[in-house]
Amino acid sequence: MKRLFLTLTIVFSLITFSSFADTITVTTPVLNSFNSSFKNATDVNWTATGSMYKATFLMNGQYVSAFYDGEGKMVALTRNINSFQLPISLQTEIKSCYDQYWISDLFEVADEQGTTYYVTLENADTKLILKSSSTSWTTYQKQRK
């Protein structure tokens, strides 16, 4: 009987610990900063990597990610966009210089330096990630498939 009780206790303990393994403890300064910046955010999910916190949430019908340091300072804000939301000069360069590729991912990053766009372009042989400068694209990463 003792053996059964001990086994059940260990099993339930493991289940309990694994159930709460993904629970993120977000610091009060980070939560206060997030709540003051995004009062109408819904469907908020938190993740942590090292000393950074990431909140992914729904705002005005669009999913957005906000990145915070441990002191509650927002470091960056990202969102997926479509190609029509790019500045005209960046749209034009993609259409004229990369017409043999299709867009598989496109997102915007807003931080202290301003707004930067990253686009992933692919064709049958290559995956190309471009980063925007002020009015043009530079190669950020290139891979053969």
Could you read off the pLDDT of 13-35 as tens digits, one per residue? Answer: 334 333 444 578 899 999 999 99
Domain ranges of the chain: 24-75, 81-145
CB atoms within 10 A of CB 33: 20
Single out the residue of 25, 66, 68, 61 nearest to residue 42, CA to CA: 61
Per-residue confidence (pLDDT) for residue 22, from 0 to 100: 59
Report the percent of the chain where pLDDT is more than 90: 78
Residue that wins the pLDDT comparison between 13 and 77: 77
Per-residue confidence (pLDDT) for residue 74, from 0 to 100: 97
Per-residue confidence (pLDDT) for residue 105, from 0 to 100: 97
Q: Does pLDDT of 82 surpass 90? A: yes
Residue that wins the pLDDT comparison between 139 and 3: 139
Q: What is the mean pLDDT of residues 113-130?
A: 97
| CATH number of this structure's domain 81-145 | 3.10.450
Letter string b/e over residues 62-85, b meaning 16 or more CB atoms within 10 A of that residue's CB: eebbbbbeeebebebbbeeeeeee
Q: Rounded CA gap, 21 and 38, in Å?
A: 27
Q: Does pLDDT of 129 surpass 90? A: yes
Q: Does pLDDT of 10 surpass 80? A: no
Per-residue confidence (pLDDT) for residue 16, from 0 to 100: 36
CB atoms within 10 A of CB 117: 19
